[in-house]
């Protein structure tokens, strides 16, 4: 029974400490800068992933098999 109480108190202290550190991090200027930078990176990544199929389709139109031909004069 005593072990259960100690574990409960430890979990409560851990969650309180984590919450306090998170709030301190988010309200500091450096923390806000890190959050906004990572959010911007996530948006750029999502944008690149969603544009990838469209870019593949548009670039296939411009790809010619002549580039793979070793006798093609443009290859030299």
Per-domain residue ranges for the chain? 29-63
Mean pLDDT of the 9-15 span:
90
**Mean per-residue pLDDT of the chain:** 80
Report d(CA 25, CA 14) in Å as an integer. 16
Cα dihedral value 9, 12, 15, 19, nearest 10: -120
Residue 25 tokens, joined: 């991090």
Whose structure tokens read 């411009």?
62
CB atoms under 10 Å from CB of 31, counted, come to 15
pLDDT of residue 55 exceeding 70: yes
CB atoms under 10 Å from CB of 34, counted, come to 13
**pLDDT tens for each residue of 17-26:** 999 988 888 8
Q: pTM above the 0.95 mark?
A: no
- Rounded percentage of the chain residues whose pLDDT exceeds 70: 75
For residue 9, what pLDDT is reported? 87
């Amino acid at each position: 029974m005593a072990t259960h109480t100690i574990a409960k108190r430890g979990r409560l202290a851990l969650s309180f400490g984590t919450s306090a550190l998170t709030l301190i991090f988010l309200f500091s200027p450096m923390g806000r800068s890190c959050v906004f930078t990572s959010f911007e990176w996530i948006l750029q990544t999502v944008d690149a992933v969603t544009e990838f199929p469209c870019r593949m389709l548009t670039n296939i139109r411009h790809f010619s098999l002549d580039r793979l031909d070793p006798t093609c004069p443009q290859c030299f």
